[in-house]
Structure 1
């Protein structure tokens, strides 16, 4: 580094780097990287004995100049006399009780309050919700049935959205559910309709489940809570170990539902929890069930992530030349100082909860990793997706491991080992057993200061602010130049053109930018398997985990995608996350337009172009639409009875006519566009009525899943008792009254009836297929009967939504899960088009 505020190679800071630095990390009179580094060094050195404080402060500044980048919370808050934590992420335990505690775990609302305090102080939170009893299980205290973990996740999601993190940092959460939990299918689909926006979600997968997948065997979904009477009547039973078996599923079909959701929505992620525990240094005194929000730290209850990274580009000498090399001696020196700094962070931080402080001080976990691997390999002339690139990454990780463990042993000699250290047990750990014998001997003799030392985290904003946009963590560069969208204070967005650090250095050296060397390879220019192989090469040297996203192109074959996860498990990885771009997920990063590369051009939005519908909308598969004509409205008077008496209201649904192309043929349909219900002023205005109608209207105007939104509303329960509203015809023609769990549910039912009569929904409230909508619209508008008639479909249909017939409820068998007559044979298996239940196959 040239100077305290300089960048490698004498590069001037990029505009986005300065903006991110000053917005997130520099405060008061601080204007440069150097100002932040000095503040952090001074704050941590203040915890050393006064006689050596100045010496350590100078070492801490120098280590940051040479390539150590503390995590974002440390750079943002150290030395600022704030009550914000310096720790990035935590795991919050959640029990099954409403309040108090359950089997040593805090009850749901106790955990909610603790998590809110952690989020408020600036920490992200991970949770394992598996202790919460399943939907439909007994709640003996109130003689009722449980609503299940997904419903409580919505409460945690709302809390996170409401509580502003310290420094205006958006709260981050990770929700985990074990694959053997009876609500696992609900969990997998929990985000499909746009819910849980403040959560990443991952399934905790066991080795037993993966073996069942390989063997195409049955797999039991179990819980310690007793099932409800209906579930018992359906066959739920208790095992000898005391757990209740709710039902047995075909493991491959459950795995398929995880894979399909991940392929379409990039979630849920997969955590191989048995591998996490097998490799845990503290296997003898803790159990891992969840991770922090980005997945690089499997943590026990109240565990924390104390993170920092080495910027690998700062250790490359003579880049882009035959003499390019990585200075391992300097890397070892900086890593040694970084371990000391991170250990001090545990004493310098404000802890949101006393339990977190105790947990951290008992084990003194830290997570030193690296950033800029992709950029550094380019500077060394090595392709990220080559054997040579993986070998270099593995050597870096091994050198980092040995240096960090040696430094922690030295700290133990000086300050003492972590309190829960047990030499015999610790040295029996599977990861520790792979350490060089000299380190193992030193651990037995002197102990070790920190139970865990290594973690490779995502480093997005600190890479921008402190490393000139060196590549993120272990990742390869996303693109050499790209546009980055950034939220502004007024709620808008601003786009910056950002360049990769290695690309800038190469350009500054006067090289030909039209003919980049082979080492310049980006994330989407390599095979997905090569992303996986990089994690496989590095993971043996990392004692916790690695945050790595396997990028796959939009047209990546599904069978190959599914194979990635099986390969990850067989390779002994601790988890896997993938990203396949699509219209639902969008992107924070967009490749900048380049006149010489048509494939990289980002066209401007054209209001005259058809509007893309969400991937989970049955209209989307082959139908693009544009508005046509005026709105047509339908108003219906409804009457319903509650314990407060009889009520009446008017519901209005406005429809928008649209036209498009289906299977290459022009069609016209209509969709709901606006929902309206006047609030009853005599009962206080019913703000929930206005809010519900506005939200439904927003979903409709965005082309979202109306059927799913109304189904969710019908699940809303209140404490005032049942609501009688509407009638349904039995098969014998007798009209029977319908009872609902709340006024919201009753109104959703009546809205469904309006849409069913209009032909937009079928009798079960499911989305009608496009051909049926086109025929209904043609009949109403007096157009020919053949308008919109689709081409004949093949017998075998790959997508269940394409397989939905254009008729009513009598076309399907009754679903054992939800009761809808929507159970049909698809791809050799019985599937419910209403709740996505999968039954027998073959």
Structure 2
């Protein structure tokens, strides 16, 4: 049992039993419920783990990628969900040095992870859940934003990791840099507004992607051990003229490449990665030995502690007088920091050597501070208080909160979650080690909307926001105090000395509070989910099972209870609410009922975001909150919600417009009608009477192709015609088929715009190889499909032609173009001298 964890710290059997009874009563009474895997697996000896969520690394190599696929499958099989950051993967079409080929990019591997999840059911009870994140400055960000529009990726929610630089560029209407994670070099620039508009449009259509504000997360308690790594952040460290120690002498940082040998505190080691960033704020640091460095705020020196150890500390956490480690000619030493002052803006460089994670800069020992995952293989154990249970009615009939009872349950919940860490049969040994080094727990709340109902407070009002502030502040204070008491009893978490808490009271857990999704456990508890408003006063929950789909009907118990107490309950009213899902438009109700019993779609997005921000102020980790929007919400509403979340200090945001997915888990009301129709046409677009377009002449390995692209009056591509060779030949048949299929793709109903669909066609056709490519270098044409892709890319502006087009081959160099040879497949099967024969292989039908 979970309480058996108490025995590992000297508690007697009687004491363990007493704690177990307290845990049992707390859950049976509905005051606190742990996350679903703990509820389903603990005490059953089935070997399945108890944590809800795991973070897995995705490295930039085939072994690392498929190690993560394997780990995810094991976690899903044992009932957990997984989060992945794909930002370290090199972009699509980047060079793969080992094979000389081209990389397929993060989105292709996202599809691999999605397919693996589809094949594995979580613990035999539910389908695996995944979160995929890509940084906004990754070169493949546009493909990632649109990757769910075609409906193919069903087992992932996705979010864009937005940096402060991106949000600043968005505010100013400027462009920002795209960074190749393999090289650290700038790979292009995009308009921040255009990227943001793509995010908004995709979220309006499908609910994905959300946004996470990655730099804000790194600076918050959500990253309690910043000295051990950042959350997928790029923080280049030194200016290019900084001298770096190598076996051959000192070299400038901007002259060093991946694979070069550099000096570390353990001798020469090969460099794995160099990261570069442009326009970075830098600071000059002067030392007592006469030297100085110009570095970023994130640069990490090894600073001497009171116990004589050297630990990595970011510059922005260093103080004047700190002693940093030096290393000259193999001899270690120390130098005090004398002065730190701003030094302007510069291009900066970070070197990463994976074995020691050190490098020597001008004689000072530095730590790599770049794009390394935040403690991969970490997990968090979650549980939630049902705050509605703490509402008490006074003798005068007024409702209030029993704060003393809430404190008792908060303290008991923290103890429970810490015991889960001890007893959890983690699916992988590296996860066991990482989890026990940081001991993250996440105590959250549910039943918030029910509590507001009981107190007679409207969700969309300042009184609710003020209560959210007070309640979550209370939970944080008491849970952190209990965490500190457990540290006195059991010792702090092992990485405490490297954490943001190292200079204050020792803590048992690196994070304590999280407001997590509570969809399953809130239904078990019979309360509203998390801090969400009621989705509907009555709703359906659709559950997929092997024998078909079950539809479960729920009516909010708190609403029904209050309606009876207030005297406006009736069977007719309940039937009407069951049809509508809310009280909106139902006549004859008390005035207060319409004000208090509002559902999610009755509340404007501003109040959704304000609630999230209020709870975030007192939450160590993230706040799970979906900004539910009605079906008629606009893209402007989505954009405003995202901007408000940034302005109010949220760590991330997710929106969901009702009906934006053909199939959704919760449905307003219990009527039998199908979901709202998706926006857009449901038929193939008919061809107008006339269209304008362009015809391109393109030399291909099988002859000269004439490619016509016609557009609508809105300048959207509508149809494509391809002609090669003579009519009636197999060559022409293949060309015509290509044109017809592309035209059909452009005219079919789709969430993707015609331009985006054509981009996907180009992606599929590009670089398809044939038997006899033609040309050299950038102008090399591999096949007819490759030539078609290049022409379409030219048409939509993906590539620009420079100078005059290449001239066709001279007459004597031209090969005769005929039909496709059934022997060799070349388009050189011609009819001459009364016989059909192939000019390439000699096959004939004579």
TM-score by length of 2: 0.63
1:254 to 164, 182, 195: 195
Task: Tell me if the contact between 1:222 and 1:244 (Cα under 8 Å) persists in the aligned partners.
Answer: yes
Task: Tell me if the contact between 1:135 and 1:147 (Cα under 8 Å) persists in the aligned partners.
Answer: yes
Q: How does 1:193-592 map to 2 (within 5 A)?
A: 193-225=150-182, 243-279=184-220, 280-289=223-232, 300-318=375-393, 322-422=397-497, 425-426=500-501, 443=505, 447-465=506-524, 467-468=525-526, 470-490=527-547, 492-509=548-565, 511-513=567-569, 514-515=589-590, 516=593, 518-592=595-669
In structure 2, how many angstroms separate the alpha carbons of the residues matched to 1:711 and 1:207? Answer: 29
Q: What's the offset of the Cα at 1:265? A: 1.5
In structure 2, how many angstroms separate the alpha carbons of the residues matched to 1:386 and 1:98? Answer: 52
Task: Tell me if the contact between 1:614 and 1:703 (Cα under 8 Å) persists in the aligned partners.
Answer: no
SS of 1:509's partner is: helix
Q: 1:758 matched to which residue of 2?
A: none
Q: Residue 319 and residue 307 in structure 1: after superposition, are their counterparts in 2 closer, same or farther (change >3 A)?
A: farther
In structure 2, how many angstroms separate the alpha carbons of the residues matched to 1:478 and 1:184? Answer: 32
Q: What's the offset of the Cα at 1:165? A: 1.7
Q: Does 1:815 pair with 2:801? A: no
Q: What's the offset of the Cα at 1:57? A: 1.2
In structure 2, how many angstroms separate the alpha carbons of the residues matched to 1:171 and 1:271? Answer: 22
Partner deviation per Cα, 1:639-667 (whole Å, 9 max, x = no partner)? x999xxxxxxxxxxxxxxxxxxxxxxxxx
Partner deviation per Cα, 1:408-443 (whole Å, 9 max, x = no partner)? 111111111101112884257xxxxxxxxxxx5xx1
Q: Residue 616 and residue 75 in structure 1: after superposition, are their counterparts in 2 closer, same or farther (change >3 A)?
A: farther
Q: Residue 299 and residue 370 in structure 1: after superposition, are their counterparts in 2 closer, same or farther (change >3 A)?
A: farther
In structure 2, how many angstroms separate the alpha carbons of the residues matched to 1:61 and 1:221? Answer: 53
In structure 1, how many angstroms separate the alpha carbons of the residues matched to 2:793 and 2:402? Answer: 72
Q: What's the offset of the Cα at 1:463? A: 0.9
Q: What's the offset of the Cα at 1:124? A: 0.6
Q: Residue 815 and residue 50 in structure 1: after superposition, are their counterparts in 2 closer, same or farther (change >3 A)?
A: same
Task: Tell me if the contact between 2:684 and 2:748 (Cα under 8 Å) persists in the aligned partners.
Answer: no
TM-score by length of 1: 0.63
* Larger CA Rg, structure 1 vs 2: 2
In structure 1, how many angstroms separate the alpha carbons of the residues matched to 2:648 and 2:13? Answer: 49
- Indicate the larger mover: 155-164 or 61-70: 61-70
Q: How does 1:742-781 map to 2 (within 5 A)?
A: none
Q: What's the offset of the Cα at 1:62? A: 2.4
Q: Residue 91 and residue 536 in structure 1: after superposition, are their counterparts in 2 closer, same or farther (change >3 A)?
A: same
In structure 1, how many angstroms separate the alpha carbons of the residues matched to 2:683 and 2:5? Answer: 56
Number of aligned residues = 583
SS of 1:177's partner is: strand
In structure 2, how many angstroms separate the alpha carbons of the residues matched to 1:582 and 1:592? Answer: 13
Task: Tell me if the contact between 2:157 and 2:208 (Cα under 8 Å) persists in the aligned partners.
Answer: yes
Q: Residue 703 and residue 181 in structure 1: after superposition, are their counterparts in 2 closer, same or farther (change >3 A)?
A: closer
Query: Where is the strand percentage greater, Structure 1 or Structure 2?
Result: 2
SS of 1:541's partner is: coil
Partner deviation per Cα, 1:271-317 (whole Å, 9 max, x = no partner)? 00111010132223232239xxxxxxx96411112000001111111
2:62 to 98, 101, 120: 98
- Structure 2: give runs of 5+ residues left out of the alignment: 234-372, 570-588, 689-699, 703-717, 720-743, 775-780, 803-846
Q: Residue 620 and residue 126 in structure 1: after superposition, are their counterparts in 2 closer, same or farther (change >3 A)?
A: farther
- Indicate the larger mover: 112-121 or 506-515: 506-515
In structure 2, how many angstroms separate the alpha carbons of the residues matched to 1:532 and 1:361? Answer: 34
Partner deviation per Cα, 1:27-81 (whole Å, 9 max, x = no partner)? xxxxxxxxxxxxx666656655425111111221222225011111111000110
Q: What's the offset of the Cα at 1:620? A: 8.4
SS of 1:587's partner is: coil
Q: What's the C-alpha RMSD, in Å, of the aligned pairs?
A: 4.0
Q: How does 1:688-699 map to 2 (within 5 A)?
A: none
Partner deviation per Cα, 1:143-187 (whole Å, 9 max, x = no partner)? 111111111111111111112221322101111000000000010
In structure 2, how many angstroms separate the alpha carbons of the residues matched to 1:372 and 1:182? Answer: 42
